[in-house]
Amino acid sequence: RAFRRADETLPLKDLNAFAATLFHEYLLRHKNAQPARQYLKSRGIGKETVLRYRLGYAPPEFRFLEPFLRAKGFDAKHFPDSGLFYYKEGRGLNFFRGRLMFPICNERGEVLGFGGRILGDGEPKYLNTSETPLFSKKKVLYGLNTALKELAKSKTVYVCEGYLDVIACQEAGVPAVAPLGTALTEEQLLKLKRYGETIVLLFDGDGAGMRAAERASVLCIE
């Protein structure tokens, strides 16, 4: 008799989904998220787009998430594997602080991890979830889940460099995706091959962007 193996990553998916909701609600409603809302407005991103892509804001506090997660009944044993915390002297502190948050999803829309853009000065400008049992950035593409409908029609996928580039393209009806702060990988290309027949590289026009496009072109041809 065959048994279907349970999804062992389900607790992490639930954790990420709830965190995405918290970040999203904070961006929409909290007075301290006004700078994030203002930044999005300056980039031409309105409320409908914020809702569609579930954009969020992680406040600068070190202990923002944990009280909400515990109150919701999440088991703390899953916190270390979630990528939402880092640990100092045995205390779990928020990995993302003071950042505009982009949920990174699989094709089914399940939240695997996050990208966070800092507002104002500071490094790194973008921060992604660390490698977890659920999230491997060499295998995931930002925006693929929201590009699938257009991609099914056009069979052409546009590869950008950043989250906001992807959103701008998709809002214009262009099926765009982005690797997560690294070079395009073989795993990502094999995934795209399932859905499209042509890849267009839309990288930055500077020297680094041109070199990245050349490397990615060779990988695409292979």
pLDDT band for position 7 (cuts 50, 70, 90): confident
Mean pLDDT of 188-202: 95
CB 137 within 8 A of CB 119: no
For residue 53 the two structure tokens come to 């892509």
CB 129 within 8 A of CB 83: yes
Mean pLDDT of 46-52: 97
Q: In what order do the strands lie in the sheet with 111-118?
A: 56-58, 99-105, 111-118, 126-128
Q: Which pLDDT belongs to residue 102?
A: 98
Write the DSSP symbol of residue 112.
E
Q: What percent of the chain has pLDDT over 70?
A: 97
CB 200 within 8 A of CB 213: no
Mean of the per-residue pLDDT values of the chain: 94
pLDDT band for position 216 (cuts 50, 70, 90): very high
**DSSP per-residue codes, 18-84:** HHHHHHHHHHHH-GGGHHHHHHHHHTT--HHHHHHTT-EEE-S-TTSHHHHHHHTT--GGGHHHHSS
- Amino acid in position 68: F
Closest CA to 108 of 28, 7, 220: 7
Given the structure tokens 């349970």, which residue do they identify? 6
Q: Which pLDDT belongs to residue 63?
A: 94
Gyration radius of the chain's alpha carbons = 18
Mean pLDDT of 14-24: 98
Q: Would you give the end-to-end CA distance of the chain in angstroms? A: 42
Mean pLDDT of 28-55: 96
CA–CA separation, 182 and 93 (whole Å)? 26
Threshold 0.85, pTM exceeds? yes
Q: Which pLDDT belongs to residue 1?
A: 43
